[in-house]
Amino acid sequence: MLKDKKIMPGVTAVIILIVIAAISISFISGPKEGEYKIPIEPTIAEWSSDQNMGAHLPILDYASDNIVIFHSYFGLFVYNLDSQKLIRSLNLQSIGCADDSCVVSVSKDENTVQLHPGDSESMYVYTISKNNLVKAAYKPMEEPFDGLVSILDVMDFDKIGNYSHNAVIFNNGEFGCLRASEWTVSSLTYVRGDRVHELFKQK
């Protein structure tokens, strides 16, 4: 019994040291002040074919040979040019990012969309391939897509009509943009050269 009593202080000291080490590691490897990532279940956008698009056309955020990414008050959308289908949509109203103050940035690799509502200190990061959404502390995107130009850079003012404000110029000289014949969702198209994609045809 006497021997056991002599061992106990040593065991207690070792346990205390282990606890202190664990706490120290958590402080070192944990998130820095102001950083956080909160997982959020993404919800799909809600819209109807005869729905009015509002005061202006949806905004073109990204375009490549493979996909087109655009948004409006009724959602964020990812359209696959090969399959000619919408492959992703995100309800922006559910995260408070459905008005003109919401800044949308897309990464150069076309997989990450950053949504920053107004002057908020928070942002939402949407990963397209994983359909994953998180809320995080705001910071500018490190490598944003920088291929957007004004429609006025590729088209005369008197020919603009119902075209989006943004366009993308490709290496072969073609440009891509959004266009609508009416102000309903079903009339929205993506135009590149002589190719026209009806973005909401499948619904």
pLDDT, tens digit (0-9, with 9 covering 90-100), for 50-63:
999 887 889 999 99
Whether the per-residue pLDDT at 157 is higher than 60: the answer is yes
**pLDDT tens readout for residues 100-125:** 889 999 999 999 999 999 889 999 99
Least confident of 23-27, 56-60, 127-131, 195-199: 23-27
Whether the per-residue pLDDT at 203 is higher than 50: the answer is no
**At 29, is the pLDDT very low, low, confident or very high (cuts 50, 70, 90)?**
very low
What is the H or E stretch that residue 2 is in?
Answer: helix 2-29
Which pTM does this prediction carry? 0.81
DSSP secondary structure letter of residue 81: T
Q: Strand locations in 56-194, DSSP E?
A: 59-63, 67-72, 75-80, 85-90, 102-106, 112-117, 122-127, 132-137, 148-150, 163-169, 175-180, 188-192
Q: Alpha-carbon torsion 194, 128, 75, 144, what sign? A: negative
pLDDT cut 90: percent of the chain above it: 65
DSSP secondary structure letter of residue 9: H
- Per-residue pLDDT, 2: 45
**At 68, is the pLDDT very low, low, confident or very high (cuts 50, 70, 90)?**
very high
Widest distance between CA atoms in the chain: 99
Q: Which residues contact 188 (CB under 8 A, 6 or more apart)?
A: 53, 57, 58, 178, 179, 180, 198, 199, 200
